[in-house]
Structure 1
Amino acid sequence: MRKPAETDAPILPVIAERWSPRAFDPEKTLTEADLKPLFEAARWAPSSSNTQPWRFVYAFRGEPFFDTLVDCAVEGNRPWVRRCSVLAYAIARTHSDSGRALWHNRHDTGIALGYLLLQATANGLAVHPFGGFESDEVIAAAHVPEGYEPCTGIGIGFPGDPDILPERDRERELGGRERRAVRDFAFHGPWPEA
């Protein structure tokens, strides 16, 4: 299912095409070869002082670790997350080797995830990043070492039929896409007064 953004200015087609579906095909599966370009795209994201604080833990549907990662998602996300071919969590390093706080860690990890999302879209895959998960459970399940923090859950797979979704999610899936107008977040000059 396509839901291209209605933009007010020309943007790259892959950006306009990217969105976060919940309907994943529960039969189709991805391979390591399918994931390689996504992680390669993330690899080349900009990074402050080239610290590259991002890490990803992932599993394929059908693997025991996949079910463990699904259990880290909040209850409302589990039905659609279970149908993803791959479930991943983006994790950010919090300090450098010298102990300096990497205050930009989530920013850099977010850019890496953005590159991954655009590559996945260009490759015809569906990706849904989500914040509804229990961070402590991800840390325990994935044996995340101290000095790293989970940032985002990521469902990856092939687009599916919206009819497989519960009514609430189906309505969201079929509904329009909305964003703030540029004037509401890009200010030429000082912050506008209320």
Structure 2
Amino acid sequence: MSAKHATTSTPILSTLIERWSPRAFDTDHALPENALLGAFEAARWSPSASNTQPWRFIVARRGSESFRKIEATLAGFNAQWAGSASALVVNLAAVETATGEPQRWAEYDLGQAVAHLSVQAHSEGLYVHQMGGFDGAQIKESFGLGKDLLPVSVMTIGKLGVPEQLAEPLKERELAPRSRLSVDELILVND
């Protein structure tokens, strides 16, 4: 597959230009034991409110029972393609402290950690695709999670596959050019 580089209005880091979220993953690729350490180390060093570090992860490699549990929760199109990734990861926000106090910024901080993780993974030759289409209640039940841990998203991690392995319309989406709103559309006030 050819690169899907972003067309930017100003220079940004090359890793950010090159990073994108594929659906076609190499079904023969298996992650070696320590392959994700750099990505999770990047997540570890993400900023968080009062340094609470409210992110937790369930990492499941393809072929494991945990992978099957996560895959069973995926909805819609996600269920059609995500099983080809080398790993599925559940991104969890610790929404309460050990004493039951709410952590208001937990989901935001988790998002920062996942962003750091995805950029680091891409710099190491891995691709990440984040998904919101999954059954969070089933994740909580399958892994025996308490009320303090909120499943926010699931992501795939692996090596890039080929678009031809996808059914339509997923293949069409895989081949489509990348697009984003302009910076001017995103910034509401810029005094």
Shorter chain as normaliser: what TM range? over 0.9
1:13-24 residue pairs with structure 2 within 5 A? Answer: 13-24=14-25
* Counterpart position of 2:62: 61
Are residues 1:140 and 2:136 paired? no
1:1-194 residue pairs with structure 2 within 5 A? Answer: 1=1, 2-189=3-190
- Asked if structure 1 preserves the Cα contact closer than 8 Å seen for 2:97 and 2:148, the reply is no
Q: Match of 2:153, SS?
A: strand
Instruction: Please give the alpha-carbon distance, in whole angstroms, between the structure 1 residues aligned to 2:177 and 2:111.
Output: 25
Q: Match of 2:29, SS?
A: coil
Question: TM-score, structure 1 length as denominator?
Answer: 0.94
Instruction: Please give the alpha-carbon distance, in whole angstroms, between the structure 1 residues aligned to 2:190 and 2:76.
Output: 43
Q: CA deviation at 1:189?
A: 4.8
Q: Which amino acid aligns with 2:103?
A: L
Structure 1 residues 75 and 187: CA distance shift in structure 2, 3 A? closer
RMSD (Å) for aligned C-alpha atoms: 1.2
Q: Which amino acid aligns with 2:154?
A: G
Structure 1 residues 16 and 189: CA distance shift in structure 2, 3 A? closer
Instruction: Please give the alpha-carbon distance, in whole angstroms, between the structure 2 residues aligned to 1:9 and 1:107.
Output: 26
Instruction: Please give the alpha-carbon distance, in whole angstroms, between the structure 1 residues aligned to 2:144 and 2:37.
Output: 23
Instruction: Please give the alpha-carbon distance, in whole angstroms, between the structure 1 residues aligned to 2:67 and 2:37.
Output: 18
Q: CA deviation at 1:25?
A: 0.5
Instruction: Please give the alpha-carbon distance, in whole angstroms, between the structure 2 residues aligned to 1:93 and 1:111.
Output: 14
- Asked if structure 1 preserves the Cα contact closer than 8 Å seen for 2:55 and 2:113, the reply is yes
Write out per-residue CA displacement over residues 28-68 of structure 1, whole angstroms, 9 at most, x where no aligned residue.
Answer: 11122111111111000001101000000021111122111
Q: CA deviation at 1:148?
A: 1.1
Instruction: Please give the alpha-carbon distance, in whole angstroms, between the structure 1 residues aligned to 2:111 and 2:178.
Output: 21
Write out per-residue CA displacement over residues 118-157 of structure 1, whole angstroms, 9 at most, x where no aligned residue.
Answer: 0111011111011010110111112212211001111001
Instruction: Please give the alpha-carbon distance, in whole angstroms, between the structure 2 residues aligned to 1:107 and 1:57.
Output: 18
Gaps of 5+ in 2: none
Aligned residues: 190
